[in-house]
């Protein structure tokens, strides 16, 4: 077996190991091995192969890795999609039963579902008005009245 075979085998093994490890660091060494295998095929000295491996690994680490990490490991702010009740915050609901904080009653319809509704400012909101969902706790919507000039 020639030395370039060893460099290729080690490079491929490192790329396979990268599948099971995060961060794209091991793959950079795999890329370095594959580049060193090209030089090994031309039968250069061991010192040249090690230098080429080191340079190729560093280049992969500082050029390819940041691009890879940027696209694979997005931050929570970029990637997080609101789901479940978190997606309801900011939506517009319609009051189906008068919201009266003094007696603790009130209901609103949002997305075809009927919710218990409570105002955030202890105001009374009549049936048929539009409200904005401020937060959701359990089965209760905390809402505020939409002022006419803020309507969409």
pLDDT tens string for the chain (152 positions)? 899 999 999 999 999 999 998 888 999 999 999 999 999 999 899 999 999 999 999 999 999 888 888 877 665 554 456 667 778 888 999 999 999 888 889 999 988 889 999 998 888 999 999 999 999 888 899 999 887 754 44
Q: Give dist(CA 17, CA 36) in Å, integer.
A: 19
Domain assignment of residue 151, yes or no? no
Rounded to 5 degrees, what are φ and ψ at 125? -125, 130
Pairing of strands 105-110, 130-137: unpaired
Residue 102 belongs to domain spanning: 85-146
Q: Give dist(CA 87, CA 99) in Å, integer.
A: 22
Domain assignment of residue 152, yes or no? no
User: What CATH number did the domain enclosing 117 receive?
Assistant: 2.40.50.140
Domain assignment of residue 136, yes or no? yes
Answer yes or no: do 69 and 90 share one domain: no
Query: Which residues, in sequence order, are bridge partners of residue 93?
Result: 131
C-alpha of 13 from chain center:
29
Q: Whole-structure pTM over 0.75, yes or no?
A: no
């Amino acid at each position: 077996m020639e030395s370039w075979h060893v460099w290729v085998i080690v490079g491929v093994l490192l790329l396979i190991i990268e599948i099971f490890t995060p961060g794209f660091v091991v793959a950079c060494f795999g890329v370095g091995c594959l580049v060193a295998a090209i030089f090994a095929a031309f039968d250069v000295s061991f010192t040249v192969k090690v230098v080429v491996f080191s340079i190729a690994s560093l280049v992969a680490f500082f050029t390819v890795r940041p691009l890879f990490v940027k696209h694979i490991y997005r931050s929570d702010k970029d990637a997080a999609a609101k789901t479940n009740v978190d997606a309801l915050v900011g939506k517009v609901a319609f009051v189906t039963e008068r919201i009266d904080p003094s007696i603790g009653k009130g209901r609103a319809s949002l997305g075809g579902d009927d919710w218990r509704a409570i105002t955030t400012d202890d105001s009374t909101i009549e049936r048929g008005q539009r409200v904005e969902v401020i937060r959701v706790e359990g089965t209760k919507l905390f809402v505020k009245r939409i002022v006419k000039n803020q309507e969409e």
